[in-house]
């Protein structure tokens, strides 16, 4: 049974203008209280679920590498104590290239973190400035080298395309540099202007040029071609890896399985389906911790878990702010929306095992229309987006969600 | 005598004004000053009972109110104010309201002077032999120029300067003098109570409890409860359930006598049986001749109304039936569009009437509708000399079968400060207009009285022209306003049908003819209109998964083409654990939006696209 653990670290030295995550600059004074609170939340969850096994662990943010090493160690100690964590479990930490000296990375490696996700974003200093990043291209390259020396044999880097003022040539250059670093995993994201961010306001106000969707589409195609030629396999809309080195933690999300989320604003899910946590009578439940760090610390710190795990007890547990019960229809729609992001698509057999009905019976219209329009194809018993129309994935997801609404 | 008042003490009058000159405010003040309503009961635009009327500041339905008034000599009088609609779409209703009166208060705004509708209303009042009491309103405003506007009124209509009263409906000054002038100058109704009953219906309205209420002015004779009456034009009979007066709410009275204004509750089910302008008489020993002026109103503008998904065709039919119970000028019949499915072809008196019906369906019946571009009625003379009327472009017969097509024309008058004459002429020209004459309205004396600060101190000009109605239908009024910075005004009347070289312009979306987008246009303009229409559609139709060609065609000739390019990328870049619920909800919202679109083949077309003709650049 899959159970991931996501630890949200809300601290950043500086906040990037495109970011709409629950992260904050200049609240470093809260770090000690935060670490104790998260450690308690980790412990209470472990006890409540009776020392479960974790299939992956992920420190995300924010900037987890901005946390002092001793704090990372403290959290790892709490995790080891409360969960079964086999030695080969994927443990990822997101790192800012600016925090990646060899010594620092060696220390982080010793805490048990065995995979780094480095926020490189671009190999063009002008683009890095536009994105408000505090690191340089040289620092990014040095970070990858230091990580190797520090003993990390599983590295991922993040890249962004479709930026204001970005041309195809500069994206080609970034891809080339990325390939040259020979990392195991690359995430390449089209910039999405999120509402309420400074960058969105700049574009809306005409201070930054609008992003041409056709140019972004062109860059996406370039990405697929370049990375495939360099031996990377695309396994999700925005993710590529060397064979067998996909992100185990992120696959949990795309397979719509269970994970716990701890930290301010972290989301968690106990997925629908038999055998999960049978004490929960519902079809599955999603829950979110309270967002403001101070309130989070207070509530997480005070939590003492115990008793039966039910929707009611969950709603009032620890730092949980909201819960959402999932119906079978919603769970099926979300399973398609997430699963079709993967290149292997969704297995009809697993779907049937989980929901008691096949995909084509649950979504006759969506499946038919998408097959007819060339959006989807059956490969054996798996339904997946076609390579040609993968960039139009939302069209397919939307039809499944619409049909799930009834 | 069954009436409550000696006819010599009754005055029936209306208020005529250009839109926004303060008609409703003046009515409100009169109600307050005569004590007809207490200040506590007062709400703005009391006579405008529809929400839309209050919001838009216009009057759609006629109303009436009976006000008690003590004249300066100490005697009691009964003043009946009949409020008239203030828009050219409702000219017929206005004329019936005027026919119910002996006098009219003519309002002119002290900051704006005479406007196009002022002229039209004055002529209409004169046609009905009404005693006109001219007033200048809004004298409380700093930009008011009373002497100049009085000079304009004397120059234009030959009033004596001292006939014109200065009033502020807003603060009430001059209103008592005005009420005294109504008693003084408006003739009392003729005392014809010995003649057989003839009552003029100036409006009618459906009431759930009492059936159709006829708003009437009794011209001859009298009517009481339990009388059996007959509507002379529709030859419908009914029992009088109740007669009453508006004080201003409906109050039962024993009877209505010649000269009086009130209502008759008929128990009828539809206002169509009790039409504005018809004469009510008694079923037995009734009058032989009906009152003059009755005319069945013909809708001039037609548009298709289609339910979107989620709105049931039958619900739409029911809503239209309910609206028609109160609106005899609304006509509809089911039609089937290849593109939009089953819907209704609806006929309206004009564009405003159309907008009002659409808005009421959306608001009062909570309906989401697709409305096709409005069309006028064409008369088609067939090769065999038979004549058919066509209000839907796709009904236009094959050119080989017809002799000629005639389109409706309007007599249009535009009143504009002289500095905008150029732009007005250009507009009229561009719309196939034919000039009749231009005339300077202001006398030189009026101009001398004007002040420098008043922008309209520049002399004003009436431009009279004839235009095809189809050209006036679409954004002509907006253009008049835009090109004159808001100063020019417009009035028009229907003149007749004239032949023209007209063709049908078709639109094809992804190779499929969209009947709801077809339009009839002048041969010489088809090319430009086709180009403008496909350009507008290209912006209104969102990118789809495939390329969508949009073409304009006359017959089998493609005259313009645009392409909506295929969407190349539409996928969320990042979707991790924390995004799942939010992204699902976003897709749910988009799915709701798509439901409201219409599918033309595989193409999803938003509702606005069907009104593209209103959005195209000319």
Per-residue pLDDT tens over the stretch B392-409 = 888 888 888 889 999 999
* B573, B584, B594 ranked by CB distance to A238: nearest: B573
Q: Which residues of A touch B577 (CB under 8 A)?
A: 6, 252-253, 259, 261, 267-269
**Prior bond of B248 cis (ω within 30°):** yes
pLDDT at B489 over 70: yes
What are the percentages of helix, strand and coil residues in chain A, rounded to 5? 45, 20, 35
Q: Evaluate whether A170 touches A219 at the Cβ level (below 8 Å).
A: no
- Cα separations (Å) of B4 from B182, B252, B262, B409? 20, 12, 12, 48
Report the distance separating Cα B148 and Cα B165, nearest Å: 14
pLDDT at A288 over 80: yes
Burial of residue B577 (CB within 10 Å: 0-12, 13-18, 19+) is buried
A308 contact partners, CB below 8 Å, separation of at least 6: A279
Task: Tell me the three state secondary structure of residue B493.
Answer: strand
Residue B17 pairs with which residues in a beta bridge?
Answer: B107
Q: Evaluate whether A230 touches A45 at the Cβ level (below 8 Å).
A: no
CA torsion sign for B512, B514, B515, B520 is negative
Nearest by Cα to B26 from B173, B126, B197 = B173
Alpha helices for B365-459 (secondary structure H): 421-430, 444-449
Say whether A220 and B591 touch across the interface (CB within 8 A).
no
Q: Which residues of B touch A286 (CB under 8 A)?
A: 580-581
Using the Cβ of A291 and the Cβ atoms of chain B, whether some distance falls under 8 Å is answered with no
Q: Which residues of A touch B567 (CB under 8 A)?
A: 213, 392
Q: Evaluate whether B178 touches B105 at the Cβ level (below 8 Å).
A: yes
Most confident of A271-280, B51-60, B488-497, B557-566: B557-566
* Domain chopping of chain A, boundaries: 3-251, 329-405
CA B315 vs. chain centroid, Å, equals 26
Q: Mean of the per-residue pLDDT values for chain A?
A: 94
CA A406 vs. chain centroid, Å, equals 29
Residue of B nearest to A5 (CA): B577
Q: Evaluate whether B427 touches B478 at the Cβ level (below 8 Å).
A: no
Q: Which residues of A touch B578 (CB under 8 A)?
A: 261, 265-267, 288
Say whether A252 and B577 touch across the interface (CB within 8 A).
yes
Nearest by Cα to B28 from B125, B137, B162 = B137
* Contact map slice: A 341-400 vs B, CB within 8 A: 341, 373, 375, 389-395, 397-398
Residue A90 pairs with which residues in a beta bridge?
Answer: A56
Per CATH, A3-251 and A329-405 having the same topology is answered: no
Select the more confidently predicted residue: A102 or B86.
A102
Say whether B580 and A267 touch across the interface (CB within 8 A).
yes
pLDDT at B338 over 90: no
Select the more confidently predicted residue: B43 or A103.
A103
* Contact map slice: A 135-194 vs B, CB within 8 A: 189-192
* ∠ CA A56-A59-A62, rounded to 5°: 150
Q: Evaluate whether B167 touches B182 at the Cβ level (below 8 Å).
A: no
A25: tokens are 């600059």
Stretch (H or E) spanning B215: strand B211-220
Residue A8 pairs with which residues in a beta bridge?
Answer: A60
pLDDT at A278 over 60: no
Q: Nearest C-alpha of chain A: how many angstroms from B341?
A: 21
pLDDT of residue B61: 54
Phi, psi of A115 (to 5 degrees): -145, 135
Burial of residue A266 (CB within 10 Å: 0-12, 13-18, 19+) is buried
Q: Nearest C-alpha of chain A: how many angstroms from B570?
A: 5
> pLDDT above 70 covers what percent of chain B?
91
B311: tokens are 């709105």
Report the distance separating Cα B153 and Cα B161, nearest Å: 8
Report the distance separating Cα B123 and Cα B89, nearest Å: 17
Residue of A nearest to B593 (CA): A402
The architecture of the domain spanning A329-405 is Orthogonal Bundle (1.10)
* ∠ CA A27-A33-A37, rounded to 5°: 120
Q: How big is chain A by its Cα radius of gyration, in Å? A: 21
The number of helices, as runs of H, and strands, as runs of E, in chain B is 15, 34
In a mutational test of the B interface, the residue from A224, A260, A394 whose CB has the highest number of chain B CBs within 10 Å is: A394
Q: Nearest C-alpha of chain B: how many angstroms from A393?
A: 5
Report the distance separating Cα B295 and Cα B92, nearest Å: 8
User: pLDDT per residue over A148-183, tens digit each?
Assistant: 999 999 999 999 999 999 999 999 999 999 999 999
Summarize the confidence of residues A236-241 as an average pLDDT.
Answer: 98
Using the Cβ of A20 and the Cβ atoms of chain B, whether some distance falls under 8 Å is answered with no
pTM recorded for the entire structure: 0.69
Task: ipTM value, please give it.
Answer: 0.93
pLDDT of residue B46: 56
Residue of A nearest to B592 (CA): A402
pLDDT band at B477 (very low <50, low <70, confident <90, very high): confident
Q: Mean of the per-residue pLDDT values for chain B?
A: 86
User: pLDDT per residue over B503-523, tens digit each?
Assistant: 999 999 999 999 889 989 899
The architecture of the domain spanning A3-251 is Alpha-Beta Barrel (3.20)
């Amino acid at each position: 049974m899959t159970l991931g653990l996501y630890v949200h670290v809300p601290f950043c030295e500086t906040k990037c203008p495109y970011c709409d995550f629950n992260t904050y600059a200049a609240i470093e004074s809260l770090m000690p209280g935060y670490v104790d609170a998260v450690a308690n939340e980790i412990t209470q969850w472990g006890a409540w679920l009776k020392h479960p096994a974790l299939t992956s662990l992920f420190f995300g943010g924010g900037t987890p590498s901005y946390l002092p090493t001793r704090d990372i160690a403290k959290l790892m100690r709490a995790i080891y104590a409360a969960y079964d964590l086999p030695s080969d479990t994927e443990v990822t930490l997101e790192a800012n290239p600016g925090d990646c000296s060899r010594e620092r990375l060696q220390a982080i490696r010793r805490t048990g973190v065995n995979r780094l996700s480095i926020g490189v974003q671009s190999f063009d200093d002008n683009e890095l400035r536009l994105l408000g990043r505090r690191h340089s291209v040289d620092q990014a390259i040095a970070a990858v080298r230091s990580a190797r020396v520090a003993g990390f044999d599983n590295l991922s880097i993040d890249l962004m395309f479709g930026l204001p003022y970005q041309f195809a040539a500069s994206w080609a250059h970034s891809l080339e540099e990325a390939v040259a670093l020979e990392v195991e995993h690359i995430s390449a994201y089209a910039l999405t202007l999120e509402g309420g961010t400074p960058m969105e306001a700049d574009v809306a106000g005409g201070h930054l040029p609008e992003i041409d969707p056709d140019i972004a589409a062109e860059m996406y195609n370039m990405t697929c071609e370049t990375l495939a030629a360099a031996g990377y396999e695309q396994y999700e809309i925005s993710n590529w890896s060397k064979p067998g080195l996909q992100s185990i933690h992120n696959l949990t999300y795309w397979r719509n399985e269970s994970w716990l989320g701890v930290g301010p604003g972290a989301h968690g899910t106990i997925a629908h389906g038999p055998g999960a946590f049978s004490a929960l009578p519902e079809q599955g439940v999603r829950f979110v911790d309270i967002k403001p760090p101070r309130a989070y610390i207070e509530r997480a710190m005070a939590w003492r878990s115990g008793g039966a795990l039910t929707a009611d007890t969950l709603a009032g547990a620890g730092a949980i702010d909201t819960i959402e019960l999932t119906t079978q229809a919603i769970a099926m729609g979300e399973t398609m929306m997430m699963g079709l992001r993967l290149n292997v698509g969704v297995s009809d057999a697993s779907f049937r095992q989980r929901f008691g009905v096949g995909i084509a019976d649950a979504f006759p219209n969506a499946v038919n229309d998408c097959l007819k329009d060339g959006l989807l194809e059956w490969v054996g018993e798996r339904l997946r987006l076609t390579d040609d129309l993968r960039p139009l994935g939302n069209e397919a997801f939307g039809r499944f969600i619409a049909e799930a609404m009834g | 005598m069954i009436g409550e008042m000696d006819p010599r003490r009754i005055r029936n009058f209306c208020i005529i004004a250009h839109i926004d000159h303060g008609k409703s405010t003046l009515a409100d003040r009169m109600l307050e000053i005569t004590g007809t309503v207490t200040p506590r009961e007062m709400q703005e635009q009391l006579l405008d009972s529809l929400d839309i009327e209050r919001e838009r500041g216009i009057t759609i339905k006629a109303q009436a109110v009976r006000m008690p008034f003590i004249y300066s000599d100490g005697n009691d009088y009964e003043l009946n104010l009949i409020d008239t609609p203030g828009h050219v779409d409702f000219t017929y209703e206005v004329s019936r309201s005027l026919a119910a009166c002996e006098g009219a208060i003519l309002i002119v705004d002290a900051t704006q002077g005479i406007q196009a509708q002022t002229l039209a209303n004055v002529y209409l009042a004169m046609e009905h032999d009404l005693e006109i009491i001219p007033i200048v309103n809004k004298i409380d405003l700093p930009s008011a120029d009373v002497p100049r506007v009085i000079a304009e009124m004397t120059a234009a209509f030959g009033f004596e300067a001292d006939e014109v009263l200065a009033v502020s409906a807003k603060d009430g000054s001059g209103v008592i003098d005005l009420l005294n002038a109504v008693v003084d100058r408006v003739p009392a109704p003729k005392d014809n109570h010995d003649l057989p009953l003839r009552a003029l219906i100036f409006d009618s309205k459906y009431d759930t409890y009492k059936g159709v209420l006829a708003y009437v002015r009794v011209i001859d004779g009298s009517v009481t409860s339990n009388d059996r009456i007959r509507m002379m034009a529709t030859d419908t009979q009914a029992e009088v359930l109740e007669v009453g007066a508006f004080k201003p709410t409906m109050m039962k009275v024993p009877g209505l006598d010649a000269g009086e204004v009130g209502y008759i509750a008929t128990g009828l089910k539809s206002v169509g049986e009790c039409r504005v302008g018809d004469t009510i008489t008694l079923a037995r020993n009734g009058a032989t001749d009906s009152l003059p002026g009755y005319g069945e109103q013909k809708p001039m503008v037609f548009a298709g109304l289609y339910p979107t998904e989620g709105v049931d065709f039958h619900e739409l039919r029911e809503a239209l039936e309910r609206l028609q119970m109160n609106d005899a000028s609304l006509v509809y019949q089911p039609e089937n569009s290849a593109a939009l499915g089953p819907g209704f072809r609806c006929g309206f008196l004009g564009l405003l009437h159309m907008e009002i019906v659409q808005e009421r369906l959306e608001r009062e019946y909570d309906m989401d509708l697709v409305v096709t571009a409005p069309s006028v009625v064409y008369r088609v003379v067939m090769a065999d000399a038979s004549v058919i009327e066509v209000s839907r472009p796709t009904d236009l017969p094959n050119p080989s079968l017809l002799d000629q097509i005639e389109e409706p024309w309007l007599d249009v008058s535009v009143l504009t400060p002289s500095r905008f004459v150029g732009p007005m002429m250009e507009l009229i020209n561009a719309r196939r207009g034919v000039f009749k004459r231009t005339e300077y309205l202001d006398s030189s004396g009026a101009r001398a009285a004007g002040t420098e600060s008043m922008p309209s101190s520049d002399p004003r000009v009436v431009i009279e022209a004839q235009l095809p109605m189809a050209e006036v239908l679409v954004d002509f009024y907006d253009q008049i306003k835009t090109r004159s910075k808001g100063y020019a005004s417009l009035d028009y009347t229907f003149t007749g049908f004239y032949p023209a070289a007209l063709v049908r312009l078709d639109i094809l979306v992804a190779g499929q003819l969209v009947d709801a987008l077809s339009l009839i246009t002048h041969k010489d303009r088809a090319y430009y209109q086709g180009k403008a229409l496909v350009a507008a559609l290209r912006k209104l139709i969102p990118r789809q998964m495939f390329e969508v060609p949009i073409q304009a065609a006359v017959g089998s000739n493609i005259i313009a083409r645009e392409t909506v390019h295929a969407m190349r990328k539409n996928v969320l870049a990042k979707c991790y654990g924390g995004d799942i619920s939010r992204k699902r909800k976003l897709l749910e919202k988009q799915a709701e939006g798509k439901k409201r679109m219409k599918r033309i083949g595989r193409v999803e077309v938003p509702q606005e696209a069907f009104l593209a003709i209103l959005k195209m650049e000319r």
